[in-house]
Amino acid sequence: MPEESKSTSNNERHEVSPSAEQTPLELFQQKISLLKRQEETGELPTAHLKKVNPKELNEEDMFMFDLFEVWQRVGSVDSVNIIFFHKYRNRAHKSDNFSRADFSAFLANKLVGIPVVEKSLDGFYAEIRDLQESHPDGNLKLVDVDLLGEEDDAMWVQVKAFEEGKMNLPREEFEEYHKAATISGNKSCKHFADFLAARLSARWKQDES
């Protein structure tokens, strides 16, 4: 991981004093309220937060903001997280929540100034190999891990965040990924997508009940 190469400027500090009664989401919303005030006074040069109601932002926005702060501290963002971010922004724009759409635009504007570095997939490959050793799923056993790519890594990150309640994963979004993997001609990508589909099925049924 790159060493920290950038410090947060005075104008971009968004520390708040948490109270014992505040939830993480409320603390995040308070941070965004502070950033919004900094925009209104001209301390921040953007205007994307002008119409954002921080109370309309949710856990997914909070999770992405936390990731963004990490990228800002280390001075780079990897190529898989770029895929991950664009999927988040697309969901925010489709949500009919204008606050979320404008907030994602705010992050996208800030992201432009952060260098993108190619991510090594070695950690992803090692994680999937460990699962192959411990998981009885037949589809996963058929996966040649070395044939998986950045889209598979990005979906795996999203699936884990979804299972932890940090990100949304609409069924139709996953189905687009699954369809692309199925017609790609890469059997390992298809088997991996099938493994994820089986893993997600029970969670979606639980959410729908």
3-class secondary-structure state, position 121: coil
Quick check: is 75 in a domain? yes
Half-sphere exposure of 57 (CA within 13 A, CB side): 29
Other C-beta atoms closer than 10 Å to the C-beta of 89 total 19
107 and 193 within one domain = no
pLDDT tens, position by position, 109-167:
889 889 999 999 999 999 999 999 998 778 899 999 999 999 999 999 999 999 998 98
Range of the domain at 81: 22-117
195 and 141 within one domain = yes
77 and 35 within one domain = yes
130 and 105 within one domain = no
Quick check: is 96 in a domain? yes
Furthest C-alpha separation in the chain: 58
Number of domains in the chain: 2
What's the rounded Cα separation, in Å, for the pair 175 and 191?
A: 14
Quick check: is 49 in a domain? yes
169 and 138 within one domain = yes
Which tokens in the block code for residue 129? 């190999």
Q: What pTM was computed for the model? A: 0.79
